[in-house]
A and B are shown apart, each in its own frame.
Chain A
């Protein structure tokens, strides 16, 4: 995995160049947003369970998915679903701290769609839940940090679709 700093450096090292002014501005911006990122991470970790609860209530609860025959029917499947949502939230938070989505690619998205398809997990429902998590998280951490987290939730969704 990489963070914004490492990925910038790697890009320029292979060209034997100094980071250009755009890259420097991005780095500066990133360092300046550090306080926001650290605070958001703390808030999310303290409220992770409730974020999942609210997101599920918002997106999946009392739909076909939780009804008998749906993919969240039976506690075992329900538990597997919220476990995955917990993963998504934790990895999105890591990526937000790092300012780089590579950890999502490596640890979450790599082969996930294929796995879900073979298990019969509905991608549409998963994406709805991730989008709901994005909204619930934004309510919790505020607009600026919420927007930044949104980038990584959206990244998960586009990786699934």
Chain B
């Protein structure tokens, strides 16, 4: 939920307009919006490269993982899921909130991967690799803006 919707909801509960403090926060959010969109666009444009480099690094560190057994389905699913998490991160970034990650990528994730017999700590490491290669591509400031979302996903796997 963006800070806009959150402020509106709490104002609505009290049947009042947004107060000055809330509006100030909303305005700051609007102002940061273009920057968040820019960063999201960088991620979108480099998705293939990030996923590619991230998985190479992951397989170096964890050679014994389902996606590295030579099974093409496992391999493709691993790449696809990395792309999906990257997409969820761009959503969260634009929204300024982890809700999209939560909703589509965290709730039930442990149960799902466990039932697929994919070790969660491997997934966490895979996300760490994605985070690293993404950070290497970005300026220090941009990398710092994006890191919390990767960390949030990694926490969700543990």
Residues in chain B near residue A33, CB distance under 8 A:
30
Q: Cβ of A1: which chain B residues have Cβ within 8 Å of it?
A: 5, 8-9
By a CB distance below 8 angstroms, the chain B residues around A30 are: 30, 33
Q: Decide: B15 and A6 in contact? CB cutoff 8 A.
A: no
Stretch at the interface among B49-57, B83-91, B141-149: B83-91
Contacts A34-B31, A103-B8 given; indicate if A13 touches B100 (C-beta within 8 A).
yes
Interchain CB contact (< 8 A) of B104 among A13, A28, A34: A13
A6 to B102, CA, bound (A): 14
- How many A-B pairs fall under 8 Å by CB? 93
Q: Are B30 and A31 in contact (CB under 8 A)?
A: yes
Whether A35 touches B104, Cβ cut-off 8 Å, given contacts A9-B91, A97-B18, is no
In whole angstroms, how far apart are the Cα atoms of A30 and B34 in the complex?
9
Complex interface bits, A31-54 against B, C-beta within 8 A gives 1, otherwise 0: 111110110011011001000000
Min C-beta distance of A84 to chain B, whole Å: 13
User: In whole Å, how far is B86's beta carbon from the nearest beta carbon of chain A?
Assistant: 10
Cβ–Cβ < 8 Å partners of B44 in chain A: 18
Known: A5-B2, A6-B5, A32-B34. Is A97-B27 also a contact (CB below 8 A)?
A: no
- Tell me if B20 and A42 are in contact (CB < 8 A): yes
Contact B87–A16 (Cβ < 8 Å):
yes
Scan residues 137-155 of chain B and give those whose CB is less than 8 A from a CB of chain A.
none
* Interfacial chain A residues near B30, Cβ < 8 Å: 30-35, 37-38
In the bound complex, do residue A48 and residue B17 qualify as a contact, i.e. CB atoms below 8 Å apart?
yes
Contact A98 B87 (CB under 8 A): no
Contact A93 B37 (CB under 8 A): no
Query: Known contacts A6-B95, A31-B37, A97-B4; is A90 also within 8 Å of B104 by CB?
Result: no
* Chain B residues with CB under 8 A of A37: 30
Give the interface of B toward A (CB within 8 A). Answer: 1-2, 4-5, 8-9, 11-12, 15-18, 20, 23-24, 26-27, 29-31, 33-34, 37, 41, 44, 84, 87-88, 90-91, 94-95, 99-100, 104
21 A-B pairs whose Cβ atoms sit less than 8 Å apart in the complex? A1-B9, A5-B4, A6-B1, A6-B5, A13-B88, A18-B87, A27-B33, A27-B37, A28-B33, A34-B31, A35-B30, A41-B23, A42-B20, A42-B23, A94-B12, A97-B8, A97-B18, A98-B4, A98-B5, A103-B12, A107-B12
Known: A38-B23, A38-B30. 9 other contacts (CB 8 A): A5-B2, A6-B99, A9-B95, A16-B87, A27-B33, A28-B33, A35-B31, A41-B23, A107-B12
Chain A residues at the B interface, C-beta cutoff of 8 Å: 1-3, 5-6, 9, 12-13, 16-19, 24, 27-28, 30-35, 37-38, 41-42, 44-45, 48, 90, 93-94, 97-98, 103, 107
3 A-B pairs with the lowest CB-CB distances in the bound complex, closest first: A34-B30, A31-B33, A45-B17
